[in-house]
Structure 1
Amino acid sequence: MGRFSDFFSKELGRRQVWLFFLLATFVYVVPLILADYPYIDDNWRSLSAGMAWAEQGRLFTELLYNLLTFSDAAPNIFPLPLLIATLAMAAALTSLTFHYYPQPTIACCLVTLPLWYNPFFLQNLSYQYDGPAMALSVVAVIYATTFRPPSRIQQWLVPSFLVALAIGLYQVSFNVFLGLCCLEVLRAANDKLAWPQWCGLIGWKIAQAFLGCLIYAVSAYPFTQHKRTLLLNWSAEPLLQLHVNIARVLEKVVLLFHGGFTWVFAGLLLCAMAGAVRLGLNVVARQDRPANKMLIGLICVLALPAVTLLVSGMALFFRDFNEGARTLMGFAVLLVLLFYLSHLALARIHQRLPLLLVIPLLAMLSLSYAYGRVLTVQKAFAASALLSLQHDIASSRQLLEAKRIYMSVTYSDYWLRGAAGSFKQMPVLHYLLNIDFFMLAENLPKVGITNVVAEKERRNATRVGYQHFAPLVESQYYRIYLIGDYGFIVMKEPAPIKRLRW
């Protein structure tokens, strides 16, 4: 019993830390691998082995799949890319743990694990194509943070190239890098780094970020479609637009804090506040000029809201604002900050108390498995919907031989009735799933139907079908109309889910 108890407080070697992270990271993605659900963009990419990342400013994602598939396209090889990304993340978290704690224990490993156990990152990992690239972008910014070569030139260039690589894999990962830079500033203040070195650290991080963006600007950015880079309209109350975007992000983040999660994160926040007080006392206790200490304290105070703002970060300033969970990668750094400050407070009381950080991690692991079950339910529903459409079209020669069948896209929160209970208990699951449509036109070729396309320019087809023609097919979820040589699939708005009483 004594040896088992000592394991949680003894110093770990690099191999032991790596094995811990390998197990922890793999366990987190097991539900996604078992679900094996092609998520939104995966459908058309797997259908045509499509790329189209370079025009989104993600040139290095294209190169990644060229390398992994030994081709100039992107055939589906899931889950191999996710397994590779998981291995890479285990190594990166090992490096970051030793960067923060030269003599780490299990409790120290828990501090950095939220970079992977980010609840909102589950949506990123849901993409069988994009998910591994997004994960590798986080790996790149972690190594940009921990890289410490003896050569000064390498100190400037290697992290900058890693930052450029991360942005070229997924631009939002730049928020993670900036958040980790803020955390570096706080750590240096807590460790009482001398004033010249502390100032040099800030300048070094600013230079890395600037040079990384510059390298990205001359390598991957020229391939980007300009409509994706439009910023807020500065002539139409940009501060109001920014305020609206922040409010939308906050509204989504609050979905996480429901039921037991509220109490778990409330406890974590209290511990982090105690750790922040301890960090402040360490700044006050520095042997330095009062002006220097005041400046250090001010920057540390400003770093806290900066990390919070970086939850969505750069996405807030784009005109085409995306409030999807996949853009909230900065939430991982906010969690690491809370864990780091909590570790400071708990370790001061007793060396084993930081092990309490395992509780919020278990909560996030539980959410991962709940989300995996929701994906499984969605997969079953999507398969049933696909077979229903295939049967109705294939059984009608008129529809099968139609020149084109337009599918209207009707959004609703009530398509997936099988997960209603989970959505009620964990509202964040519906936000993570982000699927509020019945079927994608790209799915029909999987069952041999090739004349169905998504309705885009022909928005009036729905009204024409309802007002003037009788449906050729009447189903629980849709009607199919035939007008000349063209068909129209019109979705019915599903009724709200009623509470069942047994």
Structure 2
Amino acid sequence: MKISEWLDKELTGRQVGLMFVFATLIYILPLILADFPYIDDNWRALAAGTGWAQEGRLFAQWFYNLLTFSGAAPNIFPLPLLIATLAMSWALTRLTFHYFPEPTVAHCLVVLPLWYNPFFLQNLSYQYDGPTMALSLVAVIYAITFRSPSRVQQLLIPAALIALAIGLYQVSFNVFLGLCCLEWLRGANDQLPWPAWWRSIGCKVVQVSLAGLIYYATAYAFMTQSRTSLLNGAAAPLLQVEINAGRVLEKIVLLVHGGFAWVFAALLLCAIVGAVGVGQRVLKRTDTGVNKTIIGLLCLLLLPLLMLLVPGASLFFRDFNEGARTLMGFAVALVLLFYLSHRALATVHGKLPLLLLVPLLAMLSLSFAYGRVLTLQKTFATTALYALSTDIASRPALRDAKRIYMSVTYSDHWLVSAAGSFKQLPVLHYLLNTDFYMLAENLPKAGITNVVREKERRNATRVGYQGYPPLVDSLFYRIYLLGDYGFIVMKEPVRVPSLQW
């Protein structure tokens, strides 16, 4: 069979599944090859620790208890990530057939951004948390695609899946709401009858309500209240939401740089044409003018709602987190762009939707670039660990100190070896989010157990001991010793304006 014929033919469930297995595995390959313990992974691997239950993620803790046959979480990376990736392949297969009963290769490309979300790379960087975050996406997709002739099952099973997703990672709820918006937009495009359209909305409302009850009765009971504080209503909350949204937009703009800007501009243009086509389909409905107007207005409201769901509920929390791992909703925005672009391109020529491969290849390229940055960070972290542990182990006064406090100095210039990549792809630095020299949790790997991160002292070492002669004065840090206590003070790394060889 010729390649052109294969691209046009209807695919079987097995063929679609194998295609997604390949596509999802190749996306995570750079992360597996880098094998870099990312931030929280250090202390979790050291103590085989869990700690997810108090974060409202009880099911993440159960996942590792079951997978490791223990009451803790020994490090078994990359097994959890491989399991989650295969599960995601099955979920994407199910979603493809949900959207397109007779899928081709081009149809499969439409749903792939749920995994090829550039910001999701930070989620997957966590060797412990990444797999459970991926599984939360799987649960959300199954909740959207579940169909049963029984009304009770149609309400309860998706509700249980939504509660499972939230109990694995709360941010995945943004993805569920985004996929609901996409469902209703598809319903308008496919001219779903007026009663069925509203029944779909009502069904989702009931499912979410039941999911909230299930989550409240299970994982939420273990959650500490400190993580649920909303914005202060007496301190201009709308202004704070606006500020938070602006900070998120600044991070998203980092992705639109260089060639990525042209790729996303073309994708957006095609999506606009596709959106106009959906509007025309709404106007051609046989409903009354009032019904068509209501559906049209709701479809218009769904678009800004999808954009709001990129950061989602995190905008309204007092402890706002602008990390890339909270932008899981961006994946649904990409799926919407791909869906509308597919419609626009397919009306011109049957093979044009295959052009969606271009933005997917761009995101795959970003994954490999990010994998190389992780490798560079791993090399730098290993060298830093060797230098610091050697300085401590080779000096009896430091080796025998009761406690050595380490101050944390954040900087954008620690990883000099990736400066060129950061300049060409600014989003890489945002994804890496490792802007410190060393964590105290790393030192036990080298046998140093008396170093702790400075907490209550509020970085007193940076200003309180500058007048004393340092026992160690290296390129990156100074170590002071006062009595039985040591203090590691990081230096601001040297800025390199340009590297030319």
Fold shared by both chains (TM-score > 0.5)? yes
SS in 1 for 2:66: helix
Segment drifting more, 490-499 vs 29-38 = 490-499
SS in 1 for 2:310: coil
Residues in 2 aligned to 1:13 and 1:190: alpha-carbon distance in whole angstroms:
25
Alignment-derived partner of residue 57 in structure 2: 58
Retained in 1: the 8 A contact 2:230–2:317? yes
Alignment-derived partner of residue 375 in structure 2: 376
Whether 2:25 is the aligned partner of 1:26: answer yes
1:416-441 alpha-carbon deviations (Å, 9 max, x no partner):
00000000000000000000000000
Shift of 1:500: 2.6
Alignment-derived partner of residue 461 in structure 2: 461
Shift of 1:151: 1.2
Q: Which amino acid is the alignment partner of residue 461 of structure 2?
A: A
Residues in 2 aligned to 1:366 and 1:501: alpha-carbon distance in whole angstroms:
24
Query: TM-score, with normalisation over the residues of structure 1?
Result: 0.99
Q: Deviating runs (4+, > 6 A) in structure 1?
A: none
**Structure 2 residues not aligned, in runs of 5+:** none
Output the aligned Cα RMSD.
0.7
SS in 1 for 2:46: helix
Query: TM-score, with normalisation over the residues of structure 2?
Result: 0.99
Alignment-derived partner of residue 446 in structure 1: 445
Shift of 1:498: 2.2
1:201-251 alpha-carbon deviations (Å, 9 max, x no partner):
111111112211221111111111101000011111010010000000000
SS in 1 for 2:254: helix
1:107-129 alpha-carbon deviations (Å, 9 max, x no partner):
00000000000000000000000
Work out the percentage of aligned pairs sharing the same amino acid: 69
1:312-353 alpha-carbon deviations (Å, 9 max, x no partner):
001111000000000000000000000000011111111111
Question: Which residues in structure 2 correspond to 1:377-392 (within 5 Å)?
Answer: 377-392=376-391
Retained in 1: the 8 A contact 2:461–2:488? no
Shift of 1:501: 3.5
Alignment-derived partner of residue 66 in structure 2: 67
Residues in 2 aligned to 1:461 and 1:371: alpha-carbon distance in whole angstroms:
34
SS in 2 for 1:256: coil
Q: Which amino acid is the alignment partner of residue 429 of structure 1?
A: L
Residues in 2 aligned to 1:100 and 1:303: alpha-carbon distance in whole angstroms:
18
Retained in 1: the 8 A contact 2:115–2:331? yes
Q: Which amino acid is the alignment partner of residue 462 of structure 2?
A: T
Alignment-derived partner of residue 409 in structure 1: 408
SS in 1 for 2:8: coil
Question: Which residues in structure 2 correspond to 1:311-390 (within 5 Å)?
Answer: 311-390=310-389
Shift of 1:462: 2.4
Retained in 2: the 8 A contact 1:462–1:488? no
Alignment-derived partner of residue 398 in structure 2: 399
1:342-389 alpha-carbon deviations (Å, 9 max, x no partner):
011111111111000000000000000000000000000000000000
Residues in 2 aligned to 1:185 and 1:111: alpha-carbon distance in whole angstroms:
17
Q: Which amino acid is the alignment partner of residue 57 of structure 1?
A: G
SS in 2 for 1:453: strand
Shift of 1:295: 0.4
Alignment-derived partner of residue 194 in structure 2: 195
Alignment-derived partner of residue 229 in structure 1: 228
Shift of 1:495: 2.1
SS in 1 for 2:489: strand
Retained in 2: the 8 A contact 1:242–1:316? yes
1:152-194 alpha-carbon deviations (Å, 9 max, x no partner):
1100000000000000000000000000000000000100011
SS in 2 for 1:209: helix
Alignment-derived partner of residue 476 in structure 1: 475
Shift of 1:461: 2.5
Q: Which amino acid is the alignment partner of residue 337 of structure 2?
A: L
Alignment-derived partner of residue 260 in structure 2: 261
How many corresponding residue pairs? 500
Alignment-derived partner of residue 219 in structure 1: 218
Alignment-derived partner of residue 111 in structure 2: 112
